[in-house]
Structure formats: C-alpha cells, structure tokens
Structure 1
Amino acid sequence: MAISKDTTLGLAYIIVIIALILPQTAAQVVSIEESVEDHTIRVDPVDNFKKYRGGYDITNIHYWNSVIFTGIYGYAIGVVWLFCGMMCGLFWIIITFCCQSHDGGRKIKKNLLCNCKSCHFSPIALAISFIMLIMVASVVVYVGSANFHFQARTSVNIIVKIADDASEIVHNATRVLGDIEKNLESSITADVFTKLNSTANRMDDAVDDVVEKTWTRRRTVNKAFKVVLIITILIITLNLVAVPIFSVFGVKMFWRPFYVFVILCWLMTVVCWLIFGLYFFLENFSDDTCTVLENFKENPYNNTLSSTIPCAKLLSAKSFLQKIAAGISHVVYEVNKNAGSLLPKGVYLCDPFSAPPEYSYQPEMCQPNTIKIADIPELLKHYTCFNDDNEKCGSSKDFMNAGEYNLVETYTNLVQSILNMYPRMEQLIECQLVKDAFSQIILEHCKPLKKFSRMTWIGVMFLAVIMVFFVVLWTIRACQDHSHHPSDCSV
C-alpha cells in the first residue's frame, strides 16, 4: 500500500494553498471592536443648539455632547442652587456687618431679618423626619448605583471578550501556519516560506494591537464607572453623617458649627443635583446602546454599526473558507478514489463537508464505513512496518514503511488542525461571536441597566429635594432663634 510521489506532492500543495488562503479569512477578523451606533436626534449644545443627527457614535464628540446634555435638568438646578447659596452667603455677610449699631459704646442689634414669631416649628420633629427620609433615599441610591455599576461593568467585559475570542482564534491560525512552515519547509519554495512567516507575524501583531486597545478602553470605561460610583456613595455617606450632626447643632443652637454644616450640606445638595443629571444621562445612553444592539441583532449586515463592526465585509470572506473546504473535500475525494492503494480494503475517508457549493461543515454526518481524517494515523499503524531492515516489510505491498507513515501522519495532522479551527473561523466570518455577545447583553443586562439607572436618578433627585427643604427649613429655624436672641446677631 505504498503512496505515490504524485499523491504526496498533491497533499503538500493543497495544504500550502490552504495555508495561503487562511490569512485572508483571518485578516478581516481583527477589525472587530466594541463600538456601536444608533439613530438618535438630540440638541447639541456646542453646535449652536442644533439637532445632532449623526447617529449613536461613541467616537463622535457631538454625540456625547447631545446625550450628556439630556441631564441638563440636574446640571441646571445644581448650578442655580450653588448660585443661590453664594448669594445667600454674601447676603448674610453683609447683614453680619450691618446688623449692629453703636449707641454710647453699646452694641444694639437691628432686627432686619426673620422676625416671624408666628411660624415657629419643632426642631426635633423636623430633624427626625428628614433623617428618616434621607436614610430611605440613600438606600435607594446606593442599591441603584451599585447594581448599575455591576451591570455596566459586566456588559463591558462581555464586549471585551469578543476581542479575546477573536485573538485566540487568530493565534490558533498562526500556530497552524507555523506548523506548516515547520513540517513542509523542505517541500515549499523560499518565497512561499517567507510569505507564510510574514503573514503569521502580521496576523499576530494586528490582533495583539486590537486586544491591547480593547483592554485599554475597558480599563478607562471601568475607571469612569468606578469614579461615578465612589462619588455617589461618598455623597450619600456624607449626607447620612452630616444631617444628624447638623440637626444636633441646630437643636442645641451651636451657631458657629451650625453654619459650617449649612455650607457643607448646601454643597452636597449641589453635588446631588449634578449626580441626578449624570444618571439621567446614563439612562439615555444605556437605552441608546440597547436599542442599537437590538437593531444589530435583527440585521447585522445593514445597520448603524456597519461602519465599526464590518460584518458585511467579514461575510464576503466566506468564499475563502469555502475554498478551504473545497480543497479538503478534494483531498478526501482523491483518497477515496484510490482507496485500494491508500487505505485498507472497504475503508473510506469521511468528507466533513457537505456537497458543493455550500460546503457546510458537518463532521458528525460520517457514514459507518468511513473514518475521520484524524483517525488515519491510528488505522495505518497496523499496516506500517517501522523496521526498515525487515525483509517482510520490503516485500509486502500491504505494508508501508516508516517514512511514508510519518509523511501521511504529518499531512493528516496539518489538515486536522485546519479542521479544528474551521468552526470558530466560520463563527467569526458570520459575526456569530458578536451576535451572541450582544444577545447576552440584551437578554441579561439591558433591562437591569435601564432599571437601576432610573432607580438611581430618581433616588438622587428625591434626596436632593429633601436636602433643599432640610437646609432651607433649618436656616429659617436658625433665623427665628436669632430673632428671639438679640445677643446672637454675630455669627
């Protein structure tokens, strides 16, 4: 069962052709990154308040301007509240210096403010009521922000995993090229050898660059979410600590520390309004993202993501995969055609691909009397004489020598390596990895993202409103007490 030289060269040339085609399919893969687009029309404040119509593009500064501007309600109220605080502080400073006159060496207070004895209210009941409300709002904000951070971080990790999976597949392809170089070095020309080597290096460099950029973006995004979470937790924690202390100073009428805490709580209220606007924007951003992922899932080849996730271009590379399948099917056909001289009688090689032109990969459809390509070496072991000096081996046509066996084993392993990575390469070309990742985000994380971002901004808004009333009412209460105690005019 000796193998002819023509058959050996035929196998070698087919493997080389496959090796040269393979990089064409992998070259399109490395452009898959975590970018998305959607059709959103919003006011762009830095473009003369014109409508932004460029779609959901995270690389476009005008998109970010328009979506961040959706939180203008919180930003505006925060700025107004800060301005009011500055005006009130300035007013109190003026009153402090102007509320005293000298009469014969005595300081006499001029009652310019807060002479409202009829609007007296209980400070203890006020303090308890606001502390309870602030505790409830703080719990809502903490639960919402922590869960939103978790869902956002998980979604980012899922998208990053696309690049990791693509990297693994491309590196597997380059390892196959390396094996081809190593095992066929003596059978291919120096030009082909150089081309294989340079192609493998380019593939590795390209995919490593994509992975590095993806992980850098992941760290940036996660750091941004972490900063937002830390600021949110810090503010609600400060509120929980400052409000009771503030109330104690107000009840006990310790005016100097009381006014320090007025300023502190006023500033924390400003930050609460800003956080409200931030999470309002994050809800809109999450909604945009999930909408565009839904559109991508329905039509991955013609949507707003086509410019950043080139599924249509990847699909065009499917013809290269079909050439690989056609090459392997041709090898199987030639082997089965000469089964008597290549395989034991009655044994045929299984073609793992369907009939042309589809060439669908279906290794599980092998007939009972066929063997898989990977099983060829094990089968031929029983028909191989590994001792070249044995006269029986030299005289029998039913046995092959060790050299022929090693050659068949080498070619078989190379073809099987290509088959092993064929399904994953097919997934990349059909954008299945991206579709699966986006489907997971849509099913498991989109609703929680919207839910917890909304829960957070509602909780922060409630907390900010409570803080506004809390600071204002306590200031009125302090003003009343100053009206009743003329000696306390000076702060």
Structure 2
Amino acid sequence: MGSTRITKVAIFLILVGAIWALNFNKIEGRLTTMTTSRSSQPGRSLLQAVNVSEPLRHSDDTVRVDPLDNFKKYRGGYDITNKHYWSSTIFTGIHGYAIGVLWLFCGLVYGGFLLATTFCCQNNNRKLKKTSPCQEQCYLWPTILATFITVLAIVATGLVLGGNARFHSKAKTVVNIVIDTANEASETIYNTTGAMKDMSVNLEVSNNGSSQASGFLTSTSQKLDSQAADIQRQAKKNRHAIDNGLRIVYIVTIVTISFNLVAVLVLTAFGILRLRRALKVFIGLCWLLTVLCWLFFGMYFFLEKFEGDTCTALEDFQKDPYNSSLSSILPCNELLSAKSVLSDVSAGIYDLVNEVNTNISTTYPDLIQVCNPFSAPPEYRYQPNNCPDNTIKIAEIPQALKWFTCSDESTGPCVGGLFSANEFRTVEGYTNSIQKILNAYPGMEDLVECQSVEDAFSEILHRHCKPLKRYTRMVWAPLSFLSIIMVALVLIWTVESHHMQEHHFSDGSVKPRSTAAEITEASIAKETKDDSFPNSVV
C-alpha cells in the first residue's frame, strides 16, 4: 500500500513540469495579443518598443539659448536624444569659450604687430635710448608681482589637478553602476531562458508535454537570448566609449595643466634672468595655454550643468518611473505591460502546487506536501522562505525521492525501488528547471517593474549626484581663477619684455648705465674742442 502511495506521489511530481509548461499556451496568446496591438513590425525588440509613443515629460524650468535654432530659447527639458538639448547645454559654457577665442584673437593681433615692427622698423630699434633713472626700481615691482602671481598659479594648478582626479573617479563609479545594471538585466534574462530551455528538453524527452508547449519555450527563449545579447553588446559598447571619453578628458586636462605649470615657472625664471628672446617664446606659449584654460573652464562648467539636469531627471524618475524625462531612453512603460504575463506565470505555479497538494491530501493525507513559493491571490508574492515545517521545497524534491529510486547499475526489474532511474531523472529535470525559473523570478520581477533601474538611479541620486557636481565645480572654479592669473601673468611679462627691449637688455646681460653717460660726456667734450680749435689757431 505504501509503495502505491509514493508511486502516485511521484506521478504527481512528474506532471508538475508538464502542467506548468502547458500554461505557457495562455501566456503565448497574451504575448501575441500585446505584440499585434502595439506594432505590425515582426521581431520588434521590447527595448526598442519605446519609440511607439511619445513619452510624457515633466515640465521643467530649463530655458537656454540654442545656437542651432537661431539662438532661440530651448524649452524642451532634459532629453539626451535631442540635439537641441545638447547644443543649448553645451552653450552654457559660452563664457569660457568666448573669452578663450577673444584671447586667441588678441594674441594673433599682437603677434602680427610684433612681426610688422620687427621687419619694418629695424633701423629705429637699433637707436640707443637714454636709460631711465628709475630703471632698477621700475623692474623690481613687476618682478615681485609676477612671482606672487606665479605662486598663485601653482596653488590653482594643484586645485585643478586634485578636483579633476576626484571628478574622474566619481564619474567612473556612476558609469559602472549604470553599465552593471544593464549587465545584471541581461544575466537575469539568460538565467530565465536557461531554465526554459531545460524545460523544453525535458518535455521532448519525457513526452509528457505537447510539442506546441516545447516549441513555444524554445522560440521564446531564443528571442529573450537575443534581447539579452543586445543588452550586453550595447552595454559593452557604451562602457568602452564612455571609458575612453573620460580617460581622454582626464589625460588631456592633466597633461595641459601640468605643462601649463611648467611653462609658467620657466616664463617667470626667464623674466627674472632678463632673457628677452626666450621670454618672448614662452610668452607666446603661455598665451596659447591660457586659451586652453579658458576652453576647459567652459567645458567643465557645461558638464556641471548637464550633471544637474541628469540629477533632476533622476528625481523625477524616482517620483514616477513611467512618466519622466528619462522615458525616451528607458522602456519602463513597455516593461510594465509585461507584468501581467509575469503575474500569469506566478498564478500558474501557485495553482499548480495547490493542485498537487490537494491531490496528495485527498489521496494520502499522511504524506508531506510541497511548499508553495507564492502567496495567495491577488498578490502572488514570491516568498520562497516562508514554508511551513511540514512542507518540502521544490528544489528538495529530487533529494527526497532519491532514496526510493533504483540505481543505474540495476539489471532486470527494479526490486525495492518505487520508480526507475529514468523516471527519477525526469522528475529531477523538471524540478531543477522550475527551481531555476524561481531563482530568476526576483530578478525578472525587478526587471519588469523597472526596480533594478530604479535602485541604480536611487544609488546615484543619493550617493553620487552631489559629490559629482561638487568635484566638477572643484575643477572649473580653480580653472577660471587659473585662467585669470594666466592673463595677468602674460600681460605683466609682455610689458616687461617691451621695457627690456626699449632699454637694450641683451640676452644674459644689461647695458651698463655708465655707457650712456660716457657717450654724453665724450660728445660734450668733442663739441667744446671743436669750438675752441679756431681760437687756438688764431
């Protein structure tokens, strides 16, 4: 009698996979209805379905000049797919761009003036001029001022380099969070499709399920695999592109600012040593570096504005994931529509386990029952650890039945075992497949409800938004200060270079002040001699 009871229990367990797979026929119908009602394009990706309808956007206070629209005001809000948003946001750094271009224009004009005076006025430059009595005193104060400004440039350079390192580190952290979320989503899909493939194989081997259910599982898993592969491919591509962009910005900023510091120190050294030709060369070099400093200031200022817009969009997403300014790039609306399909799966497993337990209770009330991993309707919440003491989890079924199974080494009829090794492998295959799906269920639920994306954005919003904006400000604020210092320093040494040229400073030497006096005295003596010569003759 006991043997008959356990055999029937085994039959119930074998039917678990088949009945669950048959429930996919209803799910397939729902998927077909959803697909045909939304788009007539076959094979359309769920992640691309967001383009079907224009997402609703929250109104914001973003009003910026758009240079691509005849400098009209852009009021379209945060939308990284819109070129007008990018142009208006990049244009926020116009102060740095404009000053940099203006400074470059002034440098070109000044360079042209120097070339003109060099080739056209060489004879005038050769004339000796009388040395000013305040020459040494007039040279001392600009040198002290230039030295003080150089010290300020060193401090500003340190602040820029430190802020840039922190900005780069924090930006990489944010990018890694977003990309890792995409990778986790694809991994969740792979886990689910793996379980579906196992279930399909078990149906074909055991012939307990219809070929239609097996074919549906196979085709659905292939489509989902394609989706997961596309997510991984895009994530890898975006990670590579963003990492390269951040690395280039970081390296270019470090190299430029470090080279600028070296040029400033050499410029000041040449100015103090009164090396006029070398001083002119480094004045031109520092002039160009000043242009770059202003351009970098504008770029980092724009980045802070973009970060502020992004953080505001994340706040909107936290309030309403299905109607935010990020809806143009996140398919939460479409994923939400698949929630009913996932609910059907939950209800199917719940009803199936209850059916098995009902049959066990009716026929064999003393036998242990299977733990239902889902709560009662209408919630159908997944709660795998909320099992009564007198139940067994689905994953533990093969281990419990192993003791009543004939081994593969048995020859002839199975004596003492309740079912054969092939029957046990069938039960084991079904239970393992169902358990894999149950293991992937929380991830699929988070994915359908956009919970994984919401968690990632919540982490960025509450832990990284403010530090990222602060570190960006720690770059552009010292950059603006450094740019102003560079302008002042270049102007000081430009004036001093003209002062040196007017008083005939040579490279590495200074015309003695007594030379002009001796020339004057000799000239007076000669004139006196010439005037007295006729009288002596007479």
TM-score range, shorter chain: 0.7 to 0.9
Aligned-pair CA distance for 1:181: 2.1
5+ residue gaps in structure 1?
A: none
Shift in alpha-carbon separation, 1:393–1:109, aligned structure 2, 3 A = same
Report what 1:86 is aligned to. 108
Aligned-pair CA distance for 1:433: 0.6
- 2:21 maps to amino acid: I
What is the aligned counterpart of 2:327 among 306, 314, 321? 306
Kept after mapping to 2: 8 A contact 1:32/1:163:
no
Q: 1:430-454 CA deviation, whole Å, 9 max, x = no partner?
A: 1111011111111221111111111
What is the aligned counterpart of 1:185 among 178, 200, 204? 204
Q: 1:293-352 CA deviation, whole Å, 9 max, x = no partner?
A: 111112212211223212232222121112111111122112111215887824222111
Give the paired residue count. 477
What is the aligned counterpart of 2:168 among 137, 149, 153? 149
Kept after mapping to 1: 8 A contact 2:183/2:231:
no
- Match status 1:162 vs 2:167: no
Aligned-pair CA distance for 1:107: 4.7
Q: What is the DSSP-based 3-state SS (H/G/I as helix, E as strand, rest coil) of the residue aligned with 1:363?
A: coil
Shift in alpha-carbon separation, 1:342–1:332, aligned structure 2, 3 A = farther
Shift in alpha-carbon separation, 1:120–1:349, aligned structure 2, 3 A = same
Aligned-pair CA distance for 1:127: 4.0
- Match status 1:463 vs 2:482: yes
Kept after mapping to 1: 8 A contact 2:276/2:506:
no
Shift in alpha-carbon separation, 1:20–1:123, aligned structure 2, 3 A = farther
What is the aligned counterpart of 1:424 among 443, 457, 469? 443
Report what 2:532 is aligned to. none
Kept after mapping to 1: 8 A contact 2:191/2:436:
no
Report what 2:156 is aligned to. 137
Aligned-pair CA distance for 1:42: 1.2
Kept after mapping to 1: 8 A contact 2:202/2:429:
yes
Residues 31-180 of structure 1 aligned to structure 2 (within 5 Å): 39=60, 40-101=62-123, 107-108=126-127, 120-180=139-199
| Greater displacement, 72-81 / 210-219 | 210-219
Kept after mapping to 2: 8 A contact 1:100/1:108:
no
Shift in alpha-carbon separation, 1:8–1:249, aligned structure 2, 3 A = closer
What is the aligned counterpart of 2:19 among 13, 19, 25? 13
Q: What is the DSSP-based 3-state SS (H/G/I as helix, E as strand, rest coil) of the residue aligned with 1:157?
A: helix
* Aligned mates of 1:339, 1:486 — CA distance in 2: 109
Q: 1:86-142 CA deviation, whole Å, 9 max, x = no partner?
A: 11111122222333448xxx953699xx99969544354234312211110000000
Report what 2:264 is aligned to. 243
Q: What is the DSSP-based 3-state SS (H/G/I as helix, E as strand, rest coil) of the residue aligned with 2:65?
A: strand
Shift in alpha-carbon separation, 1:31–1:214, aligned structure 2, 3 A = farther
* Aligned mates of 1:425, 1:44 — CA distance in 2: 41
Kept after mapping to 2: 8 A contact 1:3/1:342:
no
Aligned-pair CA distance for 1:195: 3.7
* Aligned mates of 2:65, 2:361 — CA distance in 1: 76
- Match status 1:448 vs 2:467: yes
Kept after mapping to 2: 8 A contact 1:100/1:109:
no
What is the aligned counterpart of 2:494 among 465, 471, 475? 475
Kept after mapping to 2: 8 A contact 1:160/1:218:
yes
Q: What is the DSSP-based 3-state SS (H/G/I as helix, E as strand, rest coil) of the residue aligned with 1:445?
A: helix
Report what 2:529 is aligned to. none
Aligned-pair CA distance for 1:216: 1.4
Kept after mapping to 2: 8 A contact 1:11/1:331:
no
Kept after mapping to 2: 8 A contact 1:352/1:361:
yes
- Match status 1:204 vs 2:209: no
Report what 1:439 is aligned to. 458
What TM-score, normalized to structure 1? 0.88
- 1:14 maps to amino acid: W
- Match status 1:3 vs 2:8: yes
Shift in alpha-carbon separation, 1:90–1:202, aligned structure 2, 3 A = same
Kept after mapping to 2: 8 A contact 1:332/1:351:
yes
Q: What is the DSSP-based 3-state SS (H/G/I as helix, E as strand, rest coil) of the residue aligned with 1:184?
A: helix
Residues 246-395 of structure 1 aligned to structure 2 (within 5 Å): 246-339=267-360, 345-386=366-407, 389=412, 393=416
- 2:121 maps to amino acid: C
Kept after mapping to 1: 8 A contact 2:146/2:492:
no
Q: 1:396-453 CA deviation, whole Å, 9 max, x = no partner?
A: xxx4454443333332222222211111111111111101111111122111111111
Q: What is the DSSP-based 3-state SS (H/G/I as helix, E as strand, rest coil) of the residue aligned with 2:127?
A: strand
Aligned-pair CA distance for 1:264: 0.1
Report what 2:37 is aligned to. none
Aligned-pair CA distance for 1:13: 3.3
| Greater displacement, 226-235 / 287-296 | 226-235
Q: What is the DSSP-based 3-state SS (H/G/I as helix, E as strand, rest coil) of the residue aligned with 2:385?
A: helix
Report what 2:528 is aligned to. none
Q: 1:430-486 CA deviation, whole Å, 9 max, x = no partner?
A: 111101111111122111111111111111111110110001011111211222228
Shift in alpha-carbon separation, 1:342–1:418, aligned structure 2, 3 A = farther
Aligned-pair CA distance for 1:291: 1.0
Kept after mapping to 2: 8 A contact 1:71/1:280:
yes
Kept after mapping to 2: 8 A contact 1:377/1:405:
yes
Shift in alpha-carbon separation, 1:134–1:7, aligned structure 2, 3 A = closer
5+ residue gaps in structure 2?
A: 35-43, 51-56, 508-538
* Aligned mates of 2:400, 2:505 — CA distance in 1: 108
Q: Which runs of 4+ in 1 moved over 6 A?
A: 4-7, 114-118, 341-344
Aligned-pair CA distance for 1:6: 8.4
Shift in alpha-carbon separation, 1:214–1:391, aligned structure 2, 3 A = closer
* Aligned mates of 1:122, 1:184 — CA distance in 2: 93
Q: What is the DSSP-based 3-state SS (H/G/I as helix, E as strand, rest coil) of the residue aligned with 1:338?
A: helix
Shift in alpha-carbon separation, 1:351–1:190, aligned structure 2, 3 A = closer
Q: 1:166-224 CA deviation, whole Å, 9 max, x = no partner?
A: 11011111111220122111424555444433332222222212221222122222222
* Aligned mates of 1:345, 1:173 — CA distance in 2: 35
Kept after mapping to 2: 8 A contact 1:137/1:463:
yes
Shift in alpha-carbon separation, 1:54–1:388, aligned structure 2, 3 A = farther
- 1:175 maps to amino acid: G
Shift in alpha-carbon separation, 1:254–1:438, aligned structure 2, 3 A = same
Structure number with greater Rg is: 2
Kept after mapping to 1: 8 A contact 2:368/2:392:
yes
Shift in alpha-carbon separation, 1:134–1:20, aligned structure 2, 3 A = farther
Aligned-pair CA distance for 1:240: 1.7
* Aligned mates of 1:486, 1:200 — CA distance in 2: 83
What is the aligned counterpart of 1:214 among 216, 224, 235? 235
Aligned-pair CA distance for 1:390: 6.1
What TM-score, normalized to structure 2? 0.81
